Structure 1
Amino acid sequence: MERKEAGVSLVELMVVLALAGILLGAAAPAYQDVMRRQQLRVAANDLVAAIDLTRSHAIARGGPVMLGPLEASGTDWTKGWMVFIDDNGNRRPDAGEQRLFQHGPLPEGMTLVSAFSSGATPLYLAYNGAGRSCSASNSLAARWGTLSLARGGETRNIKINMLGRLRVCNPAVDSANCGGVND
C-alpha cells in the first residue's frame, strides 16, 4: 500500500504568495483612505464633544467657560485643546484656573483652522451662562464662526452660529451650506 504525501509544492506556494501580494497592494491605498476618513471623523467628534462640554459647563455654572488651543501661544489647534474657566480674562489656561478637559494633539497631517467673527489671538471659543457663544471680553457680544478639520483631501466644518448652536458638515457634499472657514 502506497501513501501519497499531502502538501503543496514550492511553486504553488510562490503563486499563492504572489497573488496575495498583488491583492494587498491594490487594497492598501483604499485602506489608507478609510483610515484617514476615520481619523478625521474621530477628531471632529472629539472637538464637537469638547464644544458641547464647554457650553454645558457654562450653563451649569451660569458664567463663561472657554475652549482654546493647548499650545502656549494659543494659535495652534493641532497641538490639542482645553476646556477651562478663564478667571483672569487672558483667554489662556493659567496656573490656578480650573481645567475641565484636555485633548491631546491631532494625528500627523491633520489640520484645524478656525475663523470667527472676532479674530482675536489667542484663538478661543467661549460660551456664556445662557449657553450662547460669546466674546471673551463681553459675554453679551455674540461670536460665531467655523472650525475646519482637514486631512488627505477630506474636510469637516464645524459651524457655530450666533446662538452657539453647532453643526458638522462636509463641504464636498454640501458646498452651498457648508462653506469654508472664511464663509
Structure 2
Amino acid sequence: MRRRQRGLSSIELMMGVAIMAILLAGGLPSFQAWIQGMRLRATAESVISGLQIARAEALKRNARVRLTLGDSDGNPVWRVGCVNVSPDCPAQIQSRPLEGGGGVRLGADATPVSSPPPASAFVVALRAGAGLPGDVTFDGFGRMPASAAGVDIARIDIMSAVSGAARRLVIAVGGGQFRLCDPALSAASSAQGC
C-alpha cells in the first residue's frame, strides 16, 4: 500500500511566491507614502512640542523665551533659550533634532496669519529652508509679544525632501497659540484642514 504524500509541490510553492510578490509590489507605493506621511507627522509633533516647551519655560521663568527653529538648509532641529540671559534664565534651556527621520524639510515665513486664515492662505508651499533659521518668542504671559510680529515665524511648512507630491503639513503660529493643519483639506469640511 502506497502512502499519499502531503505538502506542496515545487510548482505550487513557486505560484504562491509569485502571487505574493505581485501583491507586495502593488502595495509598496502606498506603504512608502504612508511611511513618509508618518515622518511628516512626527516632525510636526516635534515642532509643536518645542513650541509648547518654549511657552511653558516663558511662563515658568516669567521671562522672554525663544524657540529657534531649523537651519538654512531646512533641516529639522530646534533650540529653546532665554532672550535676556541671566543666572536664572540660560541661553540654552533645551535643544534637540526633530523626530521623524530623514527626508523631511522645513520652511518658515514671518508674515502674520489672520485668524481664521482665508482658504487660500496655505495653497502655495514654502521653499525648504526659507525663513530659517527663524525664531518664535514668548513673553512671561505665554504670548507672542507685539514687537515680534512680522519678525518671528508665523507659519511653518513641514514637507518631504524626497517627493514634491507628498503630503505637506502647516503649523500656524500667532498670539501664543499654534495650530497644525493639512492644506490638502478644507477647514470647512475637516477639523484637520487649513
Partners in 1 of 2:37 and 2:60 — Cα distance?
Answer: 34
Shift of 1:76: 4.1
Q: Which of residues 161, 167, 170 in structure 2 aligns to 1:157?
A: 170
C-alpha RMSD of matched pairs (Å): 2.6
Partners in 2 of 1:45 and 1:105 — Cα distance?
Answer: 8
Q: Which of residues 135, 142, 146 in structure 2 aligns to 1:131?
A: 142
Shift of 1:18: 0.3
1:166 and 2:178 are equivalent in the alignment: yes
Q: How does 1:29-178 map to 2 (within 5 A)?
A: 29-69=29-69, 71=71, 75-87=72-84, 97-104=91-98, 107-117=101-111, 122-134=133-145, 140-143=146-149, 145-151=154-160, 152=163, 153-161=166-174, 163-174=175-186, 178=194
Report sequence identity in percent: 25
Normalised to the residue count of structure 1, the TM-score between the two structures is 0.77
Q: Which structure has the higher relative contact order (CA within 8 Å, separation 6+)?
A: 2
**DSSP 3-state at the match of 1:133:** coil
Cα–Cα, structure 1 residues 121 and 48, in superposed 2: closer, same or farther, change >3 Å?
Answer: closer
- Structure 1 unpaired stretches of 5+: 89-95, 135-139, 179-183
Kept after mapping to 1: 8 A contact 2:66/2:138: yes
- Structure 2 unpaired stretches of 5+: 113-129
**DSSP 3-state at the match of 1:78:** coil
Partners in 2 of 1:18 and 1:122 — Cα distance?
Answer: 50
Shift of 1:2: 2.4
Kept after mapping to 2: 8 A contact 1:54/1:65: yes
Cα–Cα, structure 1 residues 130 and 156, in superposed 2: closer, same or farther, change >3 Å?
Answer: same
Shift of 1:117: 3.8
Normalised to the residue count of structure 2, the TM-score between the two structures is 0.73
How many residues align? The count is 162
**DSSP 3-state at the match of 2:172:** strand
Partners in 2 of 1:105 and 1:9 — Cα distance?
Answer: 48
Cα–Cα, structure 1 residues 122 and 48, in superposed 2: closer, same or farther, change >3 Å?
Answer: closer
